[in-house]
Amino acid sequence: MRLTIEASLHRIGDLLREDVAPDLKTPFLGQSVRMASGLLTICANWVDDAAAIRVDENAAIRALLGEAGAELAGGLAGRLREAADSRDPGLRISQLDAENHRLRLLLIEAHAATEDAGLAALNAAIWRFLEHIELGRAQREQVNPFGK
């Protein structure tokens, strides 16, 4: 069995919370170490599918931008269609996050234009998507699959 990055982070978090924190001489340090342990748990849960989540999300935003580009008019529509045809520049998390930020900024513009144009179906589709990605990302921080 391979010791993965996430398992290692979970183990370090367990050590800090259960063995180190109780022995620290001030309550302030103890609380800080417990918090650090919680932070490690969140980081651990982000590791395995970090790239997959971003690749999927970027692809879904592009699809939505393409849909918006077909319904909206003017220069924005052109930029949306162009973004819909774009590709991720690489698979590093930093590259995927930068691309995610760029696409999200366009989605904000598209969403505002959709509201202004009164495109109810597209507006509802954007909200459904936003809810979907928020819940998808939020779930990752809660669970420690290696926890006791």
Partner 1 sequence: MSDFETRIAAYLAHRMPGASGIVVDELARIYGGSSQETYRLRACWSEQGKPAEKRLILRRDAPGGLVVAERDLEYNVYRALAGQRIPAPEAHFLELDPQWLDRPFFIMDLAPGRPGDPFTSPDPYDGHDETIARQFWSIMGRLAALDHRQLGLTALRNGEAAGGFWKIELDRWESIIDEGEAVAEPIVRAAIRWLRGNPPPEPAKPAIIHGDYRSGNFLFTPDGQISAILDWEMCHIGDPLEDAAWGIDPFWPITRHLPLEQGLAEWETASGMRADRKALDWWRLFSAVKACAIWTTAEAAVASGESHEMIVALSGIRAGHFHRKVILALMREFGVMA
CA–CA separation, 128 and 108 (whole Å): 14
Q: What is the closest distance, in whole angstroms, from the C-beta atom of residue 74 to partner 1 in the complex?
A: 19
Determine if 124 is a binding residue for partner 1 (CB under 8 A). yes
φ, ψ (nearest 5 deg) of residue 100: -60, -45
Of 1 and 137, the one with the shorter C-beta distance to partner 1 is: 137
Of 1 and 138, the one with the shorter C-beta distance to partner 1 is 138
Instruction: Determine, following the binding rule CB under 8 A, whether residue 2 of this chain makes contact with partner 1.
Output: no
CB 73 within 8 A of CB 116: no
Number of residues that bind partner 1 (CB under 8 A): 31
Q: Is 131 a residue that touches partner 1 (CB under 8 A)?
A: yes
Closer residue to partner 1 in complex, CB, 70/124:
124
Which residues between 23 and 82 bind partner 1 (CB under 8 A)? 26-28, 31-33, 35-36, 38-39, 42
* Interface segment toward partner 1; rule CB under 8 A; list 5-13, 66-74, 76-84, 119-127: 119-127
Q: How far is the CB of 73 from partner 1 (least distance, A)?
A: 20
